Structure 1
Amino acid sequence: MQFVVSPAEIAARTAPPEPGPVTAPVEERVIENTIVARGEVTYADAIDVTIDAAAGEERPVVTGHVPEIGTVLKPGNIALEVAGRPVIVLPGTLPAYRMLSVGMRGPDVVQLKDALGALGYAAGDPGSDLFDYDTAAALGALYEQTGYEAADGGSEARLALRDAERAVRDANTAVAQAQADLKDASDGGARNVIGEQAAVNSAWVELTDAQESLVTAQEGVLPRLPSSEVLFLGDLPRRVDDVSVARGDILSGSPMSVSGAALTIIGSLSKQDAELLSEGDEAFYPGPGGEELHATVQRIAAPASRGESEDGSQEEGASDGNGGGGQSGGDRYTVTLSPGDLTSEQIEALRGTNVRLRLPIASTDGEVLAVPLAALSAGSGGENRVELLIDAKNGADAETEIVEVEAGLAADGYVEIISEEPRLVAGAKVVVGR
């Protein structure tokens, strides 16, 4: 019997509603205009590390300092130990490709001096591309701090230095002896002292040559930087994401991959949405437990032009990023956000996930009076107004009144209204249709 419905009840259910205005209540609410996007939570700029192991004198055996995943590499840290020698991390974007020593010039020397200067070492004139004595001294201090002896010319260079020092001493003795012989010849009244003077001159020439050789030999034992003992990385610090070697392995290929040390959120936006945002703007996203977390916009990057790389250089055969013609994701702007202060548990739970981003671009200062957008109309003079329900009566004869209002922020189907009309309060009804 519960499924049996009388004809009268069916007629009541299907009967049209009483004629009259369709109304909606005036509400008190916060109106917030937001941009909604998706973002990947990740460690940005992952790269595979390469070390010039072939430049070392010994077999490239990994002997120690193998980092664990999650290790943060900072300037001056040791990334790896190969054949008993350190691979020192320094800031820079130009890979090491040759040994640097006193007297050399080039952009790699400038990079090294900048890196040493950033660590607090006096590495010489930063505006010069010359590897000088100050650069060598700073490099030696860096090696001493890491607990290793700086590379130099080796045993052959040290032997050459001893020989050069001995040659200078012998040359000084020869000069002194030639000068004594010349003095004796002059004091003895000999008229012909040309031979003794020539011997003095010859001794001085030999001393000068010996001193120049000594300078060269001294440079040979000054600290130098082999390309196998340095790892230049941009945007330090960096986080170790993966390690592919162990102690005792022969180094071949990339021993590890690293990325930015700070967790970031990377999303994409349309041009229209991107132009509404600025660096420093606040954003919100859900945490692993459903809690709302705060993020901050760090960077907004425009897409590269079609057929052009991000650095502005022309790329051969560039496409629109979609494997063919037409619109693509390459037309969208990239937004990078800092995810805020997170616990280690939150970091592990969020890393590698895709989250919903909410980016407010305008908001009312607290709750305001708001009505549906359909309740707002324009008068003949362009003024904004709403139709306020005064008395519903029997529907068809409902009494309403047009009230002029000032419209504020609109979002999510609602618009803020400002009016001096005392009857226009929360709970009052306004007409949205008939």
Structure 2
Amino acid sequence: MQDSETTQAGRAMRRVPRWWLIPAVLLVILAGLCAAYWSGASGVASVGASPATPAVIPVSATVERRAVVKQVVLSGKVVAGAQFAIKASLSEGVDRLVLTSAPKTVGSILAPGELVAAVSGRPLLVLPGGVPLYRDIELGNSGPDVAALHTALAGFGYAISSTDTFDTVTQRALIDWYKAAGYEAPTAAPSPKTVKPAGADSQPLPGKEVPDGVVFRWKEFVQIPGDTGTITAMAGNGSVLAEDGTVAQVKIADDSIVARADVVQSESFPVGGAATIRAGSAVLETKVVHVSDFMEGDQSKNQIPGKDITFEVPPGAQGFAEDQSVTVTAGTAATESLAIPLIAVRQEEGTPYVVLQKSGEWQRVKVKVVAQADGWAAIADVEGLEPGDEVKLQ
């Protein structure tokens, strides 16, 4: 009976309403909000009391003296100049070609009128390229080859008649030319007698005895493309020449340098334009002599599509051997000038100036920008601005 009463009492206690919990929770929340507000207000007050932000320290750069130029650089190679072979021919009565005398050596320059060498006892003389060589010329012959021969002999300083005929005056000029070279002029017959020049009266030339039958043997003359060249190889004295009769190799064109440029780069290398070539420590100031048409690339040769630029290599240039790799820069070697970072240049009403630090103070100095490249500005010399000065950046 007692247990029943106790159970009923417990149930009655659980039914007691707890309405007071709601106001209690609201009071706790309100107290938290107030505490947060006062904490924020105190933080703002403390920030307001902090010291002022420090001033920005100006950034400066040093004035330098350097080359400021936009450079276009190519890779190239030295290409050997064209070569020409001087050859001797078998003449009547000669069984084989043997070099019997070589007055010229490697490095000698050949020009019209000079003796190259003697082959099988007979000379090889240089004639200008304008003289047609295709026949032996005898007394009384005429034609364009005779007229050209007269012009050549006159150019060597020998007296020539006004006719276009191979006459005794021409024979005398040939005799003198051969004699100057140390040889006798060839003749068709060995017996000498006094003769008169064609068209002259019956009186012989005073003191001018001309052997009968002096002829022009075309095989005793050689010609060089361009008329001049430099000997690069010469057969040795006493050597039997090869079947083709080659006596010497002559360079008829100077070495050159060729570099491939893409279409945009080629615009920096016009014909006649200046260029600087470098090969190790060797430096060469030269010019562009030729620009090719557009050429396709060749991956096997590591060549890009573009144009081949050819540069002149003056005779005697040192340090540029055949097939040597070089670097080519457009223009001449850049000269140095005052230089500052481009961002240090300011403008006011179109007038450029820099802010310069002098004696601890900043002051304006008007400048003239003469070139820009790679973030630098080249400045013309101006009073008050010199290397080592500090200029303010933007």
Please give the TM-score of this superposition, normalised by the length of structure 2: 0.60
Deviation of 1:150 after TM superposition, in Å, equals: 0.9
Q: Which amino acid aligns with 2:119?
A: V
Deviation readout 1:194-247 (Å, 9 max, x if unpaired): xxxxxxxxxxxxxxxxx9xxxxxx999343322210111134542222346763
Distance in 1, Cα, partners of 2:85 & 2:132: 13
Which protein has the bigger helix share?
Answer: 1
CA 1:250/1:371 → structure 2, altered by over 3 Å: closer, same or farther? closer
Q: How does 1:9-408 map to 2 (within 5 A)?
A: 23-29=60-66, 36=73, 44-51=81-88, 53-54=89-90, 56-66=92-102, 68-92=105-129, 96-102=133-139, 103-106=141-144, 108-125=145-162, 130-154=165-189, 158=191, 221-243=212-234, 247-249=238-240, 251-253=242-244, 255=246, 256-260=248-252, 264-268=255-259, 271-275=266-270, 277=272, 285=278, 290=281, 295=285, 297=287, 300-303=288-291, 320=295, 331-338=307-314, 350-352=320-322, 353-356=324-327, 360-361=331-332, 368-376=337-345, 381-386=349-354, 388=356, 404-408=366-370
Partner of 2:388: 427
Q: Which amino acid aligns with 2:63?
A: V
Deviation of 1:79 after TM superposition, in Å, equals: 2.2
Gaps of 5+ in 1: 1-17, 166-210, 212-217, 307-319, 393-398
Distance in 2, Cα, partners of 1:276 & 1:403: 41
Partner of 1:175: none
SS at match of 2:231: strand
Deviation of 1:86 after TM superposition, in Å, equals: 0.9
- The structure number with the bigger radius of gyration is 2
CA 1:70/1:391 → structure 2, altered by over 3 Å: closer, same or farther? closer
Distance in 2, Cα, partners of 1:42 & 1:120: 38
Partner of 2:377: 415
CA 1:110/1:338 → structure 2, altered by over 3 Å: closer, same or farther? farther
Deviation of 1:88 after TM superposition, in Å, equals: 1.0
Q: Determine if contact 1:93/1:234 at 8 Å carries over to the other structure.
A: no
CA 1:275/1:406 → structure 2, altered by over 3 Å: closer, same or farther? same
Deviation of 1:358 after TM superposition, in Å, equals: 5.6
Deviation readout 1:127-159 (Å, 9 max, x if unpaired): x8654443332222111111111122235xx59
Stretch moving more, 224-233 or 28-37: 28-37
SS at match of 1:154: coil
Distance in 2, Cα, partners of 1:110 & 1:38: 50
Distance in 2, Cα, partners of 1:23 & 1:339: 50
Deviation of 1:405 after TM superposition, in Å, equals: 2.6
Deviation of 1:25 after TM superposition, in Å, equals: 1.3
Distance in 1, Cα, partners of 2:338 & 2:219: 69
Q: Determine if contact 1:101/1:131 at 8 Å carries over to the other structure.
A: yes
Partner of 1:309: none
Distance in 2, Cα, partners of 1:130 & 1:65: 33
Q: Which amino acid aligns with 1:45?
A: A
Q: Which amino acid aligns with 1:302?
A: H
Bigger relative CO (Cα 8 Å, ≥ 6 apart) = 1
CA 1:413/1:147 → structure 2, altered by over 3 Å: closer, same or farther? farther
Deviation readout 1:344-374 (Å, 9 max, x if unpaired): xxx5x6432344456654865xx64221334
Q: Determine if contact 2:110/2:230 at 8 Å carries over to the other structure.
A: yes
Q: Determine if contact 1:56/1:226 at 8 Å carries over to the other structure.
A: no
Percent identity between the aligned chains? Answer: 24
Deviation of 1:276 after TM superposition, in Å, equals: 8.1
Please give the TM-score of this superposition, normalised by the length of structure 1: 0.56
Distance in 1, Cα, partners of 2:92 & 2:79: 35
CA 1:293/1:405 → structure 2, altered by over 3 Å: closer, same or farther? closer
Q: Determine if contact 1:406/1:418 at 8 Å carries over to the other structure.
A: yes
Deviation of 1:98 after TM superposition, in Å, equals: 2.6
Q: Determine if contact 1:110/1:129 at 8 Å carries over to the other structure.
A: yes
SS at match of 1:274: coil
CA 1:420/1:137 → structure 2, altered by over 3 Å: closer, same or farther? closer
Q: Determine if contact 2:270/2:291 at 8 Å carries over to the other structure.
A: no
Cα RMSD (Å): 4.8
CA 1:131/1:251 → structure 2, altered by over 3 Å: closer, same or farther? farther
Deviation of 1:259 after TM superposition, in Å, equals: 0.5
SS at match of 1:338: coil
Distance in 2, Cα, partners of 1:248 & 1:362: 50
Q: Determine if contact 2:72/2:329 at 8 Å carries over to the other structure.
A: yes
